[in-house]
Amino acid sequence: MKTLRFYPLITAAFVTALVISNIIAAKLAQFGSLVLPAAVILFPITYIIGDVLTEVYGYARARQVIWTGFACNVVAVGAIWLGGYLPPAVFWNAGAYSGPAEAQQAYWAILGSTPRLLAASLAAYLVGEFLNSLVLARLKVATAGRWLWLRTILSTVVGQGADSTVFITAAFAGVLPASAIGVTILSQWLTKSAYEALATPLTYWVVNRLKRAEQLDVFDASTDFSPFGLRS
């Protein structure tokens, strides 16, 4: 079996970006009239890495990484929630807060996302990442491997559009007015897609270096595109 030297490293980078994104997403940042979760600085990188994985290693291996990221994210969320229910020490952060009860509230405020938000985030991640990988793999075959820039941007537009729509709708329907939901979806979609477009030169560089280093360039002409398969 061919040894893939950089595949584990890329998998680790993908999982790291994903897990950290979900932790820092609790903070909302404002840029003029645009409000975005702090995860915007890292989460689009998972789509860039997803493009690299699909382009170099193929859909089947990208699928494995997507599910690996999902499992690691579930473990991280479970650990954060269990940690929140542990009894706080009486001296915990006594200098920063009035006491352990206030420190406990701060822990939940930053890390304790509601079940609805967590479910929305996980569902949006799976839908968006699989669509991104599927579109890129199909377009690679259709274009005979040409126009990487077009394939990465189109796949991201589809994947990020689905991700933003699923997450915002599932998380905030009934909480925010329909007009606000539409504006939020559009702003996140455009921002993340622009991030990918700006990163195109970097994507080209990484893809070309990896193809040479791994001596690999997979075309998914006869791949089973079911998201539930785990075999390469």
pLDDT band at 154 (very low <50, low <70, confident <90, very high): very high
pLDDT band at 161 (very low <50, low <70, confident <90, very high): very high
Task: Judge whether residue 5 has pLDDT over 60.
Answer: yes
Q: What is the pLDDT of residues 17-48, one digit of tens each?
A: 999 988 887 777 777 777 777 888 888 888 89
C-beta of residue 162 within 8 angstroms of C-beta of residue 206: no
Sign for the CA dihedral angle at 195, 200, 203, 205 comes to negative
What DSSP assignment string belongs to 136-186? HHHHHHHTTT--HHHHHHHHHHHHHHHHHHHHHHHHHBTTB-HHHHHHHHH
C-beta of residue 160 within 8 angstroms of C-beta of residue 196: yes
Task: Judge whether residue 130 has pLDDT over 80.
Answer: yes
Q: What is the pLDDT of residues 185-221, one digit of tens each?
A: 888 888 888 888 899 999 999 999 999 999 999 999 9
Q: What is the pTM of this model?
A: 0.89
- State the maximum Cα–Cα separation within the chain, in Å, rounded to a whole number: 64
Residue 162 CB neighbour total at 10 angstroms: 19
Q: Which two structure tokens, joined as six digits, stand for 118? A: 């967590």
Residue listed under structure tokens 């929630």: 81
Q: What are phi and psi of 31, to 5 degrees?
A: -120, 95
Q: Which residue has the higher pLDDT, 127 or 111?
A: 127
Structural domain spans, the chain = 7-22+39-214
Query: How far, in Å, CA of 115 to CA of 171, rounded?
Result: 10
C-beta of residue 168 within 8 angstroms of C-beta of residue 83: no
pLDDT band at 105 (very low <50, low <70, confident <90, very high): confident
